[in-house]
Structure 1
């Protein structure tokens, strides 16, 4: 994978995290009217888990970008 492809992947991850964050905000608004708290908890937990996975994947791609830099550029 080229550095440009990695940057594009990281950008996609960041966009997805933004969308998931917005879903959490909207979900919090719905919780006030929800009569099934167990289902609400499962939805929230699922969104948080997805955010953790995507954050980890983005961090891995950032690490690979840093590994690809020549030693002189890192110093």
Structure 2
């Protein structure tokens, strides 16, 4: 009986802690949603640099394959 009471007390304590964490997450999600709604659409937060040559000559994939974009061929 005492063991059951101790278990119930521990469970209630964990439940209260979980409820507090969930409430905190709900507040944070609300803040993020508000920030996203206020953000102008079609813009980047970071400063981007324009490609000085305005073109891409090659693309390297994660598997280290390199593709020549101009000739549209795989180089290896």
TM value normalised by structure 1: 0.49
Report the structure, 1 or 2, having the larger helix content.
1
TM value normalised by structure 2: 0.48
Greater Rg by CA: 2
Report the structure, 1 or 2, having the larger strand content.
2
